[in-house]
Amino acid sequence: MLERAVPAARLLLASLPLLGIQSVGTAFFQAIGKALPALLLWVGRQFVLLIPLILLLGNHLGAKGIYLAFPITDFISALSILYLVLRHLRVLRNQG
């Protein structure tokens, strides 16, 4: 069991720091009164990225592909949220 669990846990936990970016990003949009972008970012991560990647990579790579889908999704999601937050902050800075 350890032979399979340790590599899987390493893959899943590799992107753990990125979850903080996602949480702060969605909370940022909620805090400034933009609940729809926050919801779309969260739903996009779960349904647009994660589930299709699990199906795609799972079919091609088996169980390892399923475990790889999580860090790939977290990386893409964190980059997207970081970009949107920075863009919003830049727009606010240019207005003031």
Per-residue model confidence as pLDDT tens digits over 57-85? 999 999 899 999 999 999 999 999 999 99
- pTM, full prediction: 0.86
- Confidence at residue 77, expressed as pLDDT on a 0 to 100 scale: 94
**Does any domain span residue 51?**
yes
**Does any domain span residue 70?**
yes
**Does any domain span residue 72?**
yes
State in Å, rounded, how far the first CA of the chain is from the last one. Answer: 58
CA angle 84, 86, 83 (to 5 degrees): 40
Domain containing residue 94: 37-96
**Does any domain span residue 92?**
yes
- Confidence at residue 3, expressed as pLDDT on a 0 to 100 scale: 85
**Does any domain span residue 66?**
yes
- Confidence at residue 48, expressed as pLDDT on a 0 to 100 scale: 93
Considering only CA atoms, which of 69, 25, 26, 78 is closest in space to residue 49? 69
CA 1 from centroid of its chain's CA atoms: 28
**Does any domain span residue 81?**
yes
User: Considering its fold, how many domains does the chain have in total?
Assistant: 1
| Over residues 31-47, mean pLDDT | 91
CB-neighbour burial class of residue 26 (10 A; exposed 0-12, middle 13-18, buried 19+): buried
**Does any domain span residue 7?**
no
- Confidence at residue 47, expressed as pLDDT on a 0 to 100 scale: 92
- Total residue length of the chain: 96
**Does any domain span residue 56?**
yes
